[in-house]
Amino acid sequence: MDKILRIDMGAPGGPKVKVDGLGSYAGLGGRALTSMIVATEVDPMANPLGAENKLVIAPGLLSGTAAAMSGRISIGCKSPLTGGIKEANAGGQPAQVLARLGYAAIVLEGNAPEGKLYKVYINKEGVKIEPADDYKMLPNYDLIDKIKASYGDKVACISIGPAGEMKLSAASIACTDMEFRPTRHAGRGGVGAVMGAKGVKVIILDDSGLQNREPKDPEKFREANKKWVDGLRSHSVTGTALPTYGTNVLSNIINESGGFPTRNFKEGKFEGVSAISGETFADIETKRGGNPTHGCHRGCVIRCSGIYVDKNGNYLTKQPEYETVWAHGANCGIDDPDTIAMLDYLDDNYGLDTIDMGAAIGVAMEAGIIPFGDKEGAINLIKEVGKGSYLGRIIGSGAAVTAKVFGVERAPVVKGQAMPAYDPRAIQGIGVTYATSTMGADHTAGYCIATNILKVGGFVDPLKPEGQVELSRNLQIATAAVDSTGMCLFIAFAILDQPETFQALIDMINAFYGLNLDADGVADLGKKVLKAERDFNKKAGFTAAHDRLPKYFYTEKLPPHNVVFQVTDEELDSVFNF
């Protein structure tokens, strides 16, 4: 991964390809590379859908190697949803394939002329860019079927659905999984809209004839990777809970904690949780002939994905993630697994962020567009997005826009991005992350649930403000570093509890690159990334006032604990005092 592929989609005469060396970006990968390129090369005041924005796609430092769990890809830009810097990441096959092709990043620059749509094909021979008129407005599954007919199923794809082509601000970017299905999404921040503005429908990656990237010290790398895998498999979360029930193992747990946002964040417990829990989904999948345990990319040992089939045993969608089950379930008052699975499929097919879609539907329900619990109504709202109707374009722009259009004050968003599946009043640490993250409300930016609820890496009382700022700060630093390696974020459970597993990760990086990195060096990388992101947002007009939750979280008590968010503004302003 010693080169950056730059494609100017707005060049005179058609797209132009240029290959650069890494230059000042040497030693960076994943989120570190996407954020540094965006922070360095994009005007913070640029229009996110304008030609001056850039879309950066980068595998992690260990992607394309034999390192277990190294298949995450980072996608960065200035976000049309938040107006700030954005990194969204996804699993699937593209990170491993792009890394084996030798590219540290793809940078899409400029905008194609209005009405022009292209496909980009990359293999070991080079890059080919061709018109994709026959792909226009195709949903992701239909698109991948067409690509399979032309290119086979051994390639990997990065694509957008109709939502991206319509430049809707909740549009995602899809990545194909091991079964060549468009199920893994860089969902947050409207990255799909930026890809649509560039005029790129799909990037097809073909690593035929190429091998894994090789470490500088193969023996030490193999030894560290073995310890790494052993550590992941021995931890109760990464070795047992996630492989058995997937991420939705959290539904019962978070509901019991009183932090499971219900009916647009009005309550902290959902009476229908047992019907949509991870245990129930796994049971349905097993009985129908699906599979509750599945890896989304080669080299995954946690295997928290799954295959959800309908009542006739036919594939419907990937096993819906916890955040998806919550967003389309409890948040909308829906307790039917088949409905939630259908909504997940539709989101993936049209290319939409499931979190912002569930939140937008919850807001629409509060506005009286449809009632809470209306299963068919929820499905029809997502179908409206696929149609591109006026109503669909509102919903497809996310919860903040939906609330503004329909006059709903209670919009659960920060910096324009919808909150995920944890109420910040009952889990105060995640409220700090929501408020202060450079990305807008984002649980993955600093996953305080680990310590607040699961007691991983210690315990900080979720109902009290004490200790939450330090917890969120440390996790945001660590996460920025992890996102740069290409590793799945779920490794955090094991590395927080098992120092030897954390050391194995560091040893892998050192053995691969010939470095002498230590734990402090990892933290320094995280701080460097966060500083660049914060500086970009400040130049884009963000102030301390943007690092706040909506007012009603400070005034409306959340049942059953009857608590409000208690971390003070002064404390929130201290999060980035490294």
pLDDT at 45: 98
| pLDDT class of 89 with cuts at 50, 70, 90 | very high
DSSP H helical ranges for 214-336 = 218-234, 236, 242-245, 250-257, 278-288, 322-328
In a domain, 187, yes or no: yes
The verdict on pTM exceeding 0.75 is yes
pLDDT at 298: 82
Q: pLDDT tens-digit profile of 101-122?
A: 999 999 999 999 999 999 999 9
pLDDT at 8: 98
Q: Are residues 48 and 197 in the same domain?
A: yes
pLDDT at 296: 86
DSSP 3-state assignment of 305?
strand
| pLDDT class of 297 with cuts at 50, 70, 90 | confident
Give strand pairing partners of 267.
262
The torsion region of residue 96 among left (phi > 0), alpha (psi -120 to 50) and beta comes to alpha
Q: Are residues 279 and 201 in the same domain?
A: no
Q: Locate tokens 């640029």: which residue?
A: 46
Cα–Cα dist 334/329, whole Å: 4
| pLDDT class of 299 with cuts at 50, 70, 90 | confident
pLDDT at 370: 98
Q: pLDDT tens-digit profile of 323-380?
A: 999 999 999 999 999 999 999 999 999 999 999 999 999 999 999 999 999 999 999 9
Angle at 199 between CA 193 and CA 202, to 5 degrees: 85
Q: Are residues 320 and 386 in the same domain?
A: yes
> How large is the greatest C-alpha to C-alpha distance in the chain, in angstroms?
63
In a domain, 148, yes or no: yes
Q: How many CA atoms lie within 13 A of 250 on its CB side?
A: 24
In a domain, 568, yes or no: no
pLDDT at 388: 97
Other residues' Cβ atoms within 10 Å of the Cβ of residue 82 = 30
The residue-averaged pLDDT of 295-319 equals 92
Q: Are residues 194 and 269 in the same domain?
A: no
In a domain, 394, yes or no: yes
pLDDT at residue 1 tops 80? no
CATH number at 166 reads: 3.60.9.10
pLDDT at 263: 98
pLDDT at 509: 95
The 3-state secondary structure of 69-132, one letter per residue: CCCCEEEEEECCCCCCEEEEEECCCHHHHHHHCCEEEEEEECCCCCCCCEEEEEECCEEEEEEC
Q: What is the CA radius of gyration of the chain?
A: 22
The torsion defined by the Cα of 106, 111, 117 and 119, in degrees rounded to 10, comes to: -10
Q: Are residues 199 and 295 in the same domain?
A: no
Terminal alpha carbon distance of the chain: 31
| pLDDT class of 462 with cuts at 50, 70, 90 | very high
In a domain, 564, yes or no: no
DSSP H helical ranges for 157-277 = 162-165, 191-198, 218-234, 236, 242-245, 250-257
| CA proximity to 261, closest of 461, 419, 491, 89 | 419
Q: How many residues does the chain have?
A: 578
Cα–Cα dist 8/110, whole Å: 5
Q: Are residues 171 and 292 in the same domain?
A: no
pLDDT at residue 294 tops 90? no
In a domain, 414, yes or no: yes
| pLDDT class of 575 with cuts at 50, 70, 90 | very high
Cα–Cα dist 567/570, whole Å: 8
Pick the last residue of a domain from 396, 421, 446: 421
Question: For a pLDDT cut of 90, what percent of the chain falls above it?
Answer: 96
Q: Are residues 160 and 283 in the same domain?
A: no
In a domain, 250, yes or no: no
Pick the last residue of a domain from 373, 396, 421: 421
At 278, list the tokens.
């991870």
pLDDT at 489: 86
CATH number at 330 reads: 1.10.569.10
Supply the DSSP string of 499-531, one letter for each residue: HHHHHHHHHHHHHHHT----HHHHHHHHHHHHH
Q: Are residues 414 and 266 in the same domain?
A: yes
Cα–Cα dist 327/347, whole Å: 12
Q: Are residues 178 and 265 in the same domain?
A: no
Q: Are residues 47 and 166 in the same domain?
A: yes
Q: Are residues 35 and 98 in the same domain?
A: yes
pLDDT at residue 245 tops 80? yes
Cα–Cα dist 138/113, whole Å: 19
In a domain, 431, yes or no: no
Strands 184-186 and 16-21: what pairing? unpaired
pLDDT at residue 395 tops 80? yes
| pLDDT class of 98 with cuts at 50, 70, 90 | very high
Pick the last residue of a domain from 145, 174, 205: 205
Q: pLDDT tens-digit profile of 494-540?
A: 999 999 999 999 999 999 999 999 999 999 999 999 999 999 999 99
Q: Are residues 279 and 152 in the same domain?
A: no
Angle at 440 between CA 170 and CA 578, to 5 degrees: 155
Q: How many domains does the chain have?
A: 2
pLDDT at 516: 92
The boundaries of the domain holding residue 112 are 3-205
